[in-house]
Amino acid sequence: MNLDVPTGIGAAFAFIFGASVGSFVCMVAYRLPRDLSIVSPRSYCESCERALPWWANIPIFAYLGLKGRCVLCGAPIPFRHFLAEVGLAVIALFLFLAFPLPDAIARFVLCAALWIVAIIDYDWRLIPNIITWPGMLVGLILASLMMPEIGWKSSLLGIILGGGVLFGTGYLYQLVRGREGVGLGDVWLLGMVGGFLGWPGVLFTMFFGSLIGAVGGIVFAVAGGGSTAPAPLGEPASDPEEADVSILRTEVPFGPYLALAAGVYAVFQPQLAHWYLS
């Protein structure tokens, strides 16, 4: 790869920008479900709730320098902050180098939204519509204007496929079994993914997300997670059909797996297409 000086400066900027967004993503994921304002107050410690000095907000370095502890009260800073800062910094750097700038920006917007959704679904078992509903529209606009490999047709089909198919499946499941099969949050999440990544992106996200979800569910159960999906009263737990669908039940957060799968597609779409065609 030809790394000249402007590219090097751009890459450094992309990394720093990505790390800052990672810090912002954690703040949003913490405050949004608690109905706290995103704008004010400025960052504070989640344990002692005191405002942090500016330098304690420097992404990545503050965490390393403070050895993962709050400078005011010494409480451990959740490792997810560090993970989001490093993760989104690396993603921003990679996208900057691999895609034309507008395309890279559009893909990064999706990755940041997915990261917020994943944390909130993991913590609360819900996916906020306030992210996925505007996300579908933003996805359609960005895919039309800034993502030549997606385009508005595929984006529109993606929204219909993502929202429609899973919604239909969930509705059918509810009719047959008499309870909610797929969380509506997952449906809107796939709609947003479709808006950004088109209908092939939705297909990939559904299949790859289910795959890693199944593996993750098994690992979780073996590791002693125990109460992943308790069998409802009056139904035999050994019903084989039950085992098949339990992964789609809302007792297990499915959003993080879908988010991971969609993120993989957003970042590695050219490689995946090349690998699939060859």
Q: Which residue is nearest to Zn ion (CB)?
A: 45
Residue among 58, 66, 72, 160 that touches Zn ion (CB under 5 A):
72
Residue placing its CB nearer to Zn ion in the complex, 73 or 215: 73
Tell me the H-state helices in the chain: 5-31, 61-65, 79-98, 101-124, 129-146, 151-177, 184-220, 240-245, 255-277
Name residues whose C-beta falls within 8 Å of residue 146's C-beta, 6 or more positions apart in sequence: 102, 103, 105, 106
- Can residue 246 be called a binding residue for Zn ion (CB under 5 A)? no
Token duo for residue 206: 């559904």
**Total interface residues for Zn ion by CB under 5 A:** 7
- Write out the H or E segment, with its range, that includes residue 147: none
Binding segment (CB under 5 A) for Zn ion, from list 70-78, 81-89, 204-212, 259-267: 70-78
Per-residue interface string for the shown chain with Zn ion, residues 172-211, x marking contact by CB under 5 A:
----------------------------------------
Tracing tokens 């078992």 back to the chain, one arrives at 125
| Minimum gap (Å) between residue 38 Cβ and Zn ion | 20
Binding segment (CB under 5 A) for Zn ion, from list 17-25, 34-42, 45-53, 87-95: 45-53
| Minimum gap (Å) between residue 28 Cβ and Zn ion | 20
Binding segment (CB under 5 A) for Zn ion, from list 67-75, 177-185, 212-220, 241-249: 67-75
Name residues whose C-beta falls within 8 Å of residue 28's C-beta, 6 or more positions apart in sequence: 38, 116
Residue among 12, 36, 48, 215 that touches Zn ion (CB under 5 A):
48
- Can residue 62 be called a binding residue for Zn ion (CB under 5 A)? no
Binding segment (CB under 5 A) for Zn ion, from list 20-28, 37-45, 79-87, 265-273: 37-45
- Can residue 70 be called a binding residue for Zn ion (CB under 5 A)? yes
Q: How many beta carbons lie within 10 A of that of residue 5, not counting itself? A: 7
Closest CA to 254 of 223, 212, 219, 226: 212
Binding segment (CB under 5 A) for Zn ion, from list 19-27, 32-40, 44-52, 96-104: 44-52
User: For the chain, what's the residue count?
Assistant: 278
Token duo for residue 117: 């959704």
Residue placing its CB nearer to Zn ion in the complex, 72 or 126: 72
DSSP state letter for 5: H
Question: What is the residue-wise DSSP string for 180-212?
Answer: --S-HHHHHHHHHHHHHHHHHHHHHHHHHHHHH
Residue placing its CB nearer to Zn ion in the complex, 45 or 258: 45
- Can residue 145 be called a binding residue for Zn ion (CB under 5 A)? no
- Can residue 45 be called a binding residue for Zn ion (CB under 5 A)? yes
Closest CA to 127 of 254, 23, 265, 26: 254
| Minimum gap (Å) between residue 119 Cβ and Zn ion | 20
Residue among 9, 12, 73, 231 that touches Zn ion (CB under 5 A):
73
- Can residue 215 be called a binding residue for Zn ion (CB under 5 A)? no
Instruction: Tell me how far apart the alpha carbons of residues 217 and 239 are, in angstroms, rounded to a whole number.
Output: 18
Question: Binding residues for Zn ion, per CB under 5 A?
Answer: 45, 47-48, 70, 72-73, 75
